[in-house]
Each structure stands twice: as C-alpha cells, then as structure tokens.
C-alpha cells in the first residue's frame, strides 16, 4: 500500500492520496495553500503544479484564511487579541504525518496562538476530512473568537461553476437546487440552533456541465448539528472558494489561556462520476466512517404519531401493537403523549414520567406486551424542550434560553432548555438513563421541535458558547447513552428532517426525514436527502389515507412503494384499516424484508430526475438489484419508455420470477416497466443474477 500522505521538503508540498484522488497543500509565506484537488497524481506530479497565479490584489487559496495582510474574503479564522489586533501572521511550526493523518501547525509571529490544520484520508474512499484546532498559548488575557471554520476549499480553476445544495422548510425538506455560482459572496446558514430544515450543511460544485452519471464534482459536508455557515465566493477571475464551519455570524466567545477550540469535521470529496457517483461515495463514506451499525438491517417500524397523535394510552397502544405485529412490524414506537400532562402540545414537556391516567402501572406492561408480540419497543423523547406549563419549568424557569427584559418567544408552546448548563445536562442524562435502565427500551426517537430564540444565558460570562455547547451536550448525552445501553438504536428527528447531518449520524442510526408522509411530495424529499445521506438512514413511513398533511388520497401500494426506498415504517390508526388494506400492507412488508438488504446496503442509482413523469431509482447489492418506478400522475400521450439499468454485469443474466434478462440488454436497451394504468402507478422489480 502506498503512503496515504507524502511530503516534499524542498517545496513544502503535501500530497494526500485517496484511491482515486489527490489533495495537495503547499506551505508558503502566507500560510498553507491548496495547490491541487482532482484525479490522483504522484507526489512528483503534484510538486510540478505551479503556485496559483495571483489575480487581483489579494492572497487566495489559503487553507484557512484569517484577517490581515491582503486577505479580503470571508475570514475562516476570526479572532481578537486583548489589545484589539485582529490580523494574524502565521509561521509554519512543523507538521506530523501518521498514516492517513496530517497535521500542519502554524503559530503567530507575535501573539500566543497556535493553529493546527488537521487532515485525514482513508484507503477505502475518496473523502478528505478536515478540521482545525486553535490553542491559546498565553497565560493571561483571553482571546476573543468570532469564527473558526473547519475548512476553506479552493476549487481548481474552471471556466464556470455551478452549485448544488438543498433548501426547505418544515414538511418540505431537502429540496435540491442547482444554480450557477454567483459572482461575489453567497451564504448558506442556520441561525436556528440546529442544522434545520431551511438548508443542510453541504454544498457541491461542478463546472456547469456535470450530469447524474458523468462529470466532475467537488463537495463538502459539515459534520455538525448546531448552527452553521457555508459560503461560496467567486471572483472576476473565476476563483471559487467555499468555506464550511460551525456557528453563525455575530457570535463572540472567549478562549481562555491554555484552552484549545476544536472544530467539527468538514468532509470534502471529489469525483469524475457525476452527481450519482458523488452520492454513492458519500453513502459509502457514511457506512465506513460515520454510522455505528452500518451492517444491520433497519427493522420495519410502526410509529404511533399519525395513528393516535397525542392520545396514546396503554389500551390503544396494545390494540394497535397487536395489528402491527400481524402486519410484520418489528419495532413498535410510541410517539408523543405518554408522559406528564402531555394531552396536547401545550403542556408536559419536561415532566418525563408516564402519565398515570394513561399508563396506570407505568410503561412496563406495554413494553412487555410489545416484546411478547415479538417486536422491539421504542419511545419518543424531546429532551431539549420544556413547556411553560410543566413542573420542570415551574421549578427551573432559569433553565431555558432567555434574555433579560425580553419575551420568551414560545414556538409550539415550548421553550428551549439551555443544554450548555451543566445542571441541565446532568438532569437530562439522568432521566434518559433511568428511562432506559428501568425499561426494556430498544429505540429512542430523539426529537427537537423548535428553533432557538432569545438565546441568552443570563448567569454566564461567556453566553455565546451555548450555541456550540448545546450541540456538544446533545452529542455527549447520546454518546453516553449508547455506551451504557449498547442495544439501543436512535432516530434523529427535529420536526422531521431538521437535524440530519454527519455529526448526528455518527451517534444515531436513522433520521426521521420529514413530517410530510405524502408519497408524492416525498419523492423530491427523498431525492434531496439521497444526494449525501444513505437510504439505510432515511426513515420513511407508509401512512394514512387521505394523507394527514396534504389530504391527498393515494392507494396503499403507492404509499408503500415510495417508503420502501428507505428504512420502511408504517404509521396510522391501524385498528381502522380495512381487512384488505391489512392484507396488502402485510404483503408489502414481506416484500420489503426480501429486498431491504439491497435498498439499505446497496448502491443507489437515480435513473431519472425526481421531476420526470415516471421516477425510477435503482439499488444494487452484489448479485441483486431492486428497481422502484413511481408515476404519480399519468398523462395521455406519454408512453412508458424502457429504463436503462446501471451497475449490472453485462455478461450475466438476471431473473425475476420466471423471466430472465440479459445484463447487457438491461443496460443497453433497458427494462420495460410493467406499470399499471392510471395515476399513482408504481412497481418494484427485484432481479437476481443467475450466472453468466
């Protein structure tokens, strides 16, 4: 195996190699600058790449630009020394190479501060992980920090650039946009406390002509669930720099003498295999380096939310659990409404004991019953929140985010607990740990239903830290719970997909992708989610008819077929489902169990855009492939074309039932989709290789 990281001392050039790419950095007087990011080169070849010519009046290409000197772009290092100086002047102070890890150390020429730039590459994928650590080397006054990005990524020179990203809102997450990179500066940010629905902390750049299957793309994804900011800056000379980091603009916090501030990871990825190739590489990275249980299959879950809403009782959950077990459900999740005086969203958050009217003997009888039925038991929690109408708030009003002389803005009648406070963190871990210790709970749905407002911390000398420490505490509690209760699996939810990122996926198993369970809307949501995150993490329910949100009436088969492209779940009031619906749902679940290892662990090919009349996605895992085709609306005069499959062996044959296809024909001519006539038509094909 060749070295993953190489160094040429004469030119000060580092080459970080992945299986098919090289990322190269050169030490210069202005600090380390990126010289190359593209198809794999040798160290000698990288050394021969010249420094980027200077265009205009400024230094570009720095790995983590600060302020001062001829630096005029968005600063990735923003700090203020005790005397008011904000400029940095770096000198290289050594580097360390350890396998795939490179650390380049810089110290300021005058002030007591050290900046470590960290890089990590692997031999099993093309991702370059980057993060930074700033250390106060002095002994007296604090340094004020305003920003420390994880990475600035300089794009290689191209004639044009296009950006891909997602925007959204509640129940409409992950809407993919591709727009030409604007000249000037463009910012994507969350100021809401978590990564949130309105965007997602990743950005991809291509030269404008890349397609789903062909062409170059560079991408970065930030592994962080709090607020964040990504920027793209394009100059007249078509230099393009992307920055990625935690925190929004306007924060100021103090770095104490001796303290180190470490950023989350920003992962970077380059491919020549189009947007599809990019997604496949991100999914592979998630499985190899982010997720904790990538080889498990996610169980078919039932969730009570769209069935009984806030009205959960031991009696009705028992009844529904019996139906769920009959359908083939493997994990029964009781959602909101089981605790305190939580009869609606106006009370009870914070009072995490079973409602005695609804669960007279506690949770254990229901938990036992669910296990007796052969299912695992899961439960909903929203630890970061409190309703003012709760015992918790009455005894600890000071625990919420608030500012003196300002209203406490309620959203969904709730306030945010300040998880940066050690006493709040200890309380939250305490009750969660007891809940898991005292009950045979197998699954937590950890929800977070509102954005931060009036995010003050009255008795702290350094209140802006809460923007970071809140998220760090959530991570620390999740880490502790998982270590102490290793059988528990966790779903990340924030009013649907408001907390979905590589940071939370490192400590959870799946995401509740959206509160929108309408399969028509869901096709676009799933397409956007799949750009970066793998299907095994994409929670998807087949739910009620008409849909509770959109009121659209959609046949059960179509509802299941869309949800089966992710980690399948079922919701709704199953007691009222007709016998025919139950029989059909059970058959769908049988089918899903046969194909889920292909969906969850396979390689995704998006065969059409999500806006086509017929949307087709394909998963390939070893000798098997699964194709989903969905046609929400049939339009007269638009016949169904054969769809050409990807990732198959042209020499092999593939069989479904008694029909055998040649791999070469499936790739060259395509598969004729056997879609029934009419609206909401869908089909699932499962082909298995039968040899050469």
Kindly list the strands in the beta sheet with 77-80, ordered across the sheet, starting from the edge strand earlier in the chain. 77-80, 143-148, 253-255
Cα separation, 33 vs 64, in Å, equals 8
Residues 621-680 that bind ligand GLA (CB under 6 A): none
**116 is a site residue for ligand GLA (CB under 6 A):** no
Q: What is the nearest approach in angstroms of ligand GLA to the Cβ of residue 335?
A: 5
Candidates 34-42, 488-496, 544-552, 619-627 — which segment interacts with ligand GLA by CB under 6 A?
488-496
Which residue of 31, 100, 294, 496 would you call a contact of ligand GLA, by CB under 6 A?
496
Alpha carbons within 13 angstroms on the beta-carbon side of residue 544 total: 20
Site string for ligand GLA, 375-394 (x = CB under 6 A): -----x--------------
| Shortest reach from residue 199's CB to ligand GLA, in Å | 18
Length of the chain: 692
Indicate whether 443 belongs to the interface with ligand GLA (CB under 6 A): no
The total of other beta-carbon atoms located within 10 Å of residue 116's CB is 19
Name the DSSP letter for residue 487: T
Interaction of residue 308 with ligand GLA, rule CB under 6 A = no
Residue in 444, 493, 574, 588 binding ligand GLA, rule: CB under 6 A: 493
**DSSP label at 323?**
H
Position 369 contacts ligand GLA (CB under 6 A)? no
C-beta of 131 vs 305, nearer to ligand GLA:
305
Rounded to a whole number of angstroms, the minimum distance from the CB of residue 539 to ligand GLA is 9
Of residues 21, 506, 173, 32, the one with CA closest to residue 7 = 32
The interface region with ligand GLA, picked from 58-66, 493-501, 588-596, 661-669 by CB under 6 A, is: 493-501
Is 447 an active-site residue?
Answer: yes
Answer for which of 190, 449, 526, 536 binds ligand GLA (CB under 6 A) is 449
305 binds ligand GLA (CB under 6 A): yes
Strands 77-80 and 143-148: antiparallel
Q: Quick check: 351 binds ligand GLA (CB under 6 A)?
A: no
Annotated catalytic residue within 447, 501, 509, 518: 447
Q: Given the complex with ligand GLA, which of 108 and 515 has the nearer CB atom?
A: 515
**CB 2: neighbour CB atoms within 10 A?**
9
* Cβ nearer to ligand GLA, comparing 16 with 511: 511
Question: Is 219 within 8 Å of 268 (Cβ atoms)?
Answer: yes
CA dist 628 and 519 (Å) reads: 13
End-to-end alpha-carbon separation of the chain, Å? 33
Position among 149, 216, 239, 336 found at the interface with ligand GLA (CB under 6 A): 336
412 conformational bin, left if phi > 0, alpha if psi -120 to 50, beta if neither: left
Strand order of the sheet with strand 240-246?
A: 151-154, 240-246, 228-234, 184-190
DSSP output for 345-398 = TTS-TT--SB-TTT-TT-SHHHHHHHHHTT-EEEEEE-TTEE-SSSHHHHH-GG
> Minimum Å distance from CB 569 to ligand GLA?
11
Is residue 417 a contact partner of residue 424, using CB atoms and an 8 Å limit? yes
Among the listed residues 63, 146, 216, 335, the single contact to ligand GLA using CB under 6 A: 335
Binding residue for ligand GLA, selected from 161, 174, 253, 512, defined by CB under 6 A: 512
Residue 447 binds ligand GLA (CB under 6 A): yes
In the bound state with ligand GLA, the residue whose beta carbon lies nearer, of 424 and 493, is 493
Cβ-closest residue to ligand GLA? 336
Our finding on whether 126 is near ligand GLA (CB under 6 A) is no
Nearer to ligand GLA among residue 384 and residue 515 (C-beta):
515
227 near ligand GLA, rule: CB under 6 A? no
CB of 496 to ligand GLA, least distance (A): 5
Q: Is residue 684 classed as helix, strand or coil in its secondary structure?
A: strand
Nearest to 121 by CA among 40, 52, 213: 40
Q: Which residues are catalytic?
A: 447, 515
Rule CB under 6 A: which residues touch ligand GLA?
305, 335-336, 380, 447, 449, 493, 495-496, 512, 515
């Amino acid at each position: 195996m060749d070295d993953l990281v190489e160094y040429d001392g004469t030119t000060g050039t580092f080459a970080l190699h992945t299986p098919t790419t090289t990322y190269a950095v050169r030490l210069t007087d202005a600090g380390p600058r990126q010289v190359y990011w593209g198809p794999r080169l040798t160290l000698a070849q990288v050394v021969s790449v010249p420094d980027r010519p200077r265009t205009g009046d400024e230094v570009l290409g720095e790995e983590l630009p600060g302020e001062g000197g001829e630096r005029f772009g968005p600063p990735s290092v923003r700090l203020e020394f005790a005397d008011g100086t904000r400029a940095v002047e770096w000198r290289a102070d050594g580097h360390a190479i350890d396998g795939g890890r490179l650390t380049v150390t810089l110290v300021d020429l005058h002030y007591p501060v050290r900046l470590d730039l960290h890089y990590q590459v692997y031999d099993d994928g093309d991702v370059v992980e980057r993060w930074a650590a700033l250390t106060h080397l002095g002994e007296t006054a604090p340094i004020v920090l305003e920003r420390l990005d994880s990475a600035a990524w300089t794009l290689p020179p191209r004639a044009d650039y296009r950006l891909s990203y997602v925007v959204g809102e509640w129940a409409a997450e992950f809407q993919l946009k591709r727009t030409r990179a604007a000249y000037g500066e463009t910012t994507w940010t969350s100021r809401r406390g978590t990564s949130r629905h309105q965007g997602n902390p990743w950005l991809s750049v291509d030269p404008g002509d890349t397609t789903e299957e062909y062409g170059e793309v560079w991408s970065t994804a930030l592994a962080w669930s709090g607020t964040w900011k990504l920027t793209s800056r394009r100059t007249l000379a078509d230099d393009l720099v992307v920055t990625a980091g935690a925190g929004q603009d306007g924060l100021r916090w103090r770095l104490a003498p001796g303290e180190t501030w470490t950023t989350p990871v920003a992962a970077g990825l380059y491919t020549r295999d189009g947007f599809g190739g990019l997604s496949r590489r991100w999914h592979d990275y998630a499985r190899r380096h982010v997720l904790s249980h990538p080889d498990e299959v996610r169980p078919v879950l039932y969730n009570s939310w769209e069935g009984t809403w806030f009205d959960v009782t031991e009696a009705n959950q028992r009844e529904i659990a019996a139906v769920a077990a009959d359908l083939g459900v493997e994990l029964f999740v009781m959602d909101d409404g089981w605790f305190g005086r939580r009869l609606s969203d106006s009370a009870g958050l914070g009072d995490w004991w079973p409602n005695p009217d609804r669960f007279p003997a506690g949770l254990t009888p229901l938990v036992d019953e669910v296990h007796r039925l052969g299912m695992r038991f899961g439960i909903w929690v929203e630890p970061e929140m409190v309703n003012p109408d709760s015992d918790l708030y009455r005894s600890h009003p000071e625990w919420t985010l608030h500012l003196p002389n300002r209203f406490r803005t309620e959203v969904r009648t709730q306030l945010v607990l300040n998880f940066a406070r050690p006493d709040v963190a200890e309380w939250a871990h305490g009750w969660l740990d007891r809940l898991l210790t005292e009950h045979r709970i197998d699954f937590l749905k950890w929800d977070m239903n509102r954005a931060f407002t009036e995010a003050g911390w009255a008795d702290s000398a350094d209140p802006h830290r809460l923007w970071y420490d809140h998220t760090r505490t959530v991570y620390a509690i999740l880490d502790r719970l998982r270590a102490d209760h290793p059988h528990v699996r966790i779903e990340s939810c924030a009013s649907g997909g408001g907390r979905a990122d590589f940071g939370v996926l490192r400590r959870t198993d799946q995401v509740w992708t959206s509160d929108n369970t309408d399969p028509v809307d869901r096709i676009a949501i799933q397409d956007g989610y799949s750009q970066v995150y793998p299907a095994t993490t994409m929670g998807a329910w087949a739910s009620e008819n008409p849909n509770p949100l959109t009121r659209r009436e959609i046949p059960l088969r179509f509802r299941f077929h869309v949800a089966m492209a992710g980690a399948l779940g079922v919701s709704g009031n199953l007691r009222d489902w007709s016998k025919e619906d139950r029989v059909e749902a059970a058959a769908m679940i049988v089918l899903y169990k046969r194909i889920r290892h292909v969906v969850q662990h396979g390689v995704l090919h998006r065969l059409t855009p999500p806006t086509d009349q017929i949307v087709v996605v394909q998963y390939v895992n070893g000798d098997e492939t699964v194709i989903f085709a969905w046609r929400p609306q049939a339009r007269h005069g638009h016949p169904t074309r054969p769809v050409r499959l990807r990732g198959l062996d042209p020499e092999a044959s593939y069989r479904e039932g008694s029909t055998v296809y040649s791999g070469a024909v499936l790739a060259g001519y395509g598969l004729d989709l056997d879609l029934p006539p009419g609206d909401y038509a869908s089909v699932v094909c499962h082909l298995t290789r039968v040899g050469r």
